[in-house]
Chain A
Amino acid sequence: MEIGAYSFGDTPLNPDGSPRSTAEGIRNLFDAIVVADKAGLDYFGIGEHHTVSMPASSPGALISAAAAATGQIILGSAASVISTDDPVRVFQQLATADAISGGGRVEITAGRGSSVETFPLFGYDLADYDRLYAEKLDLLMTINDSATENVTWSGTVRPTLDDLAVVPRPVAGRLPIWLATGGNAASSARAGKLGLPVSYGIIGGEPHRFAPLTELYRRSAAQAGHTENIKVSVATFGLVAPTKKEALERFYPGWHSLNVEMGRLRGWGAPDRRQFDAQAAAPGAYYVGDPDDVAERIVHLHGYLGHMRHFLQGDFGGLPTEHLHESLTLLATEVKPRVARLLAAK
């Protein structure tokens, strides 16, 4: 099982709680990826976000920089909001990073974004939400599957490509493309039908309840005749520290401020500590704990979902970078071997 991390960027906070610069958030994220690579983590995902608190707006640029500064870690967007981007540019940027990485270390995860700040930002109409996503995903796959540099495609959401070069080509011919979903059944069926690996973002509830969705995904793939490349990955909140108590105390303040911010947007009331503690204990959705706890819970979930990669997001609400670095290091050096051992013993 691959163990990884992901981030949307985390703008640091001043002692009074006001945000420091978004540039610092980006620089910290870059540093974290380098730390993760050195520690031996398998994967790092950058999720496209466009807010002051989460400023990782440009996964392609960040992944290119990280590709040059790292040696072994797999880098991917997690996810690229392709509905409101140009799939030609998304592909070119990640294929460029792939070339810089030496090949084989760069992936794209395509999604539509759970919040829709990209629609006004890039001038799209929410009324076209479904059509934009379906067509742009088709274009992205068409480019990736193209046997040559030259691509032909037509649709309704962007101009036709008539035998035009889209370069560079990935070193291995193609980039791995994943489909991101938050748990809508239709998306699992779609990923299966298209034969794409699927990445579940599970931010609440009990993750093992996603088991029917992974079955739906696998059955949809089988029905459509896809046998290769049928893989599941799982993204959850999580932070690792030497003890569970430390992990909870480190993670809670960021979680709290994230929920205050989200609550303001979505009309929720104030977050409460009981809710947090319930989610941070098995079988909740926050993988916050010591290495034993987190490893056991990943393996428990594996029994339900059969996923091949589990990656955690711990840096939001101004998590101190030393806590993030320690978590990334523990994930690679302590959690990963425990997961391997527990799976082998099964």
Chain B
Amino acid sequence: MVTTIGILGAGRVGSAIARTALKAGYAVHIAGSGPAADIELIVDIVIPGAVPMTAAEVAASSDLVVLAVPMHKFRSVDPATLAGRIVIDTMNYWQPIDGELDEIAADPRGSSEVVADYFADARLVKTLNHIGYHDLETDARPAGHPERHALAIAGDADAAAVVAEVINRFGFDPVLAGPLASGVAFEPGSPVFGGRHTAAELAAELEPAEAA
């Protein structure tokens, strides 16, 4: 069972996910690119309750790790530290922020599959990428609420099931899209990206991808 969520990246997305996880009752370990002391004050005020650490310490001490670094920096995360772990990939390739990343742009596969090649020994799951970081905190609703939104999850079935429970506790209906390759269906540019959907609406949007 997941009790501690580790987050790599203490930026907008990392902080919003950290607060959401704390609210859901998880312990949260978080790191920026540098030493823990660099983000101590930030964490203390902006993410009270989370524990600042180095990235390696976060990876070693958490049941599940969330990658919330800019896409153009994912190679600065040491893949050895994530071997064997369930890792949520929240990253989107967005050219205006990331610049030209040929390895993503030129690869016909989804960005998470490219990322998964690099973190070869991790169990990568794609989710939390198609919701804005503001909305993550304002849109969370208890299970069964009529306005509850859904989030898509792509990854191998066992890892995706673990992540689905986390998404549920975060306040969203998890919708399983299939293996990691089906993550293209909720990348930027897809009808799902940035929209708001109930579980039924999201499942309907994702169906063609599943059939393919």
Contacts and interface: CB of A to CB of B under 8 A. Distances in A.
Interface of A: 115-117, 119, 125-127, 182-186, 189, 204-206, 209, 212-213, 215-216, 219-220, 223, 263, 265-269, 272, 275
Given A220-B41, A267-B188, A183 B12 contact: yes
A216 B10 CA distance: 14
Given A209-B137, A216-B46, A266 B194 contact: yes
A184 B13 CA distance: 9
B138 A205 contact: yes
A269 B41 contact: no
B173 interface: no
B105 to A, nearest CB: 13
Contacts of A204: 132, 134
B42 interface: yes
Contacts of A269: 191-195
A333 B62 CA distance: 56
B196 A275 contact: yes
Size range of the chain B interface in the assembly = 20 to 34
A220 B138 CA distance: 27
Given A206-B138, A265-B96, A267-B189, A186 B42 contact: yes
6 contacts: A126-B99, A184-B12, A185-B42, A206-B134, A266-B94, A267-B187
Contacts of B189: 267
B15 interface: yes
Given A263-B194, A267-B194, A223 B132 contact: no
Contact of A126 (B46, B98, B134, B194): B98
A187 to B, nearest CB: 10
B193 A267 contact: yes
Given A126-B98, A265-B96, A213 B46 contact: yes
A205 B15 CA distance: 14
B97 interface: yes
Nearest to A285: B134
Interface string B159-198: 0000000000000000000000000000111111111100
Contacts of B92: 267
A62 to B, nearest CB: 24
A185 B15 contact: yes
Contacts of A116: 96-97
Contacts of A275: 196
Contacts of A268: 188, 193-195
Most chain A CB within a 10 A radius of its CB, from B32, B72, B134, B188: B134
Contacts of B97: 116, 126
Interface in B1-32: 10-12, 15, 32
A205 B16 CA distance: 12
Contacts of A267: 92, 94, 187-190, 193-194
Return the 4 tightest CB-CB contacts between A and B, nearest first. Answer: A267-B188, A205-B134, A268-B194, A126-B99
Contact of B96 (A117, A209, A213): A117
Contact of A205 (B94, B137, B195): B137
Contacts of B138: 205-206
B188 A186 contact: no
A205 B45 contact: no
Given A185-B10, A204-B132, A267-B194, A212 B187 contact: no
A273 B126 CA distance: 29
A212 B188 CA distance: 30
B46 A212 contact: yes
B45 A212 contact: yes
A209 B39 CA distance: 19
B135 interface: yes
Contacts of B194: 263, 266-269
A216 B193 CA distance: 32
Given A185-B42, A212-B46, A267-B187, A127 B11 contact: no
Given A267-B194, A269-B193, 15 more contacts: A116-B96, A126-B72, A182-B12, A183-B12, A184-B11, A186-B10, A204-B134, A206-B138, A223-B41, A263-B194, A266-B96, A267-B187, A267-B193, A268-B195, A269-B195
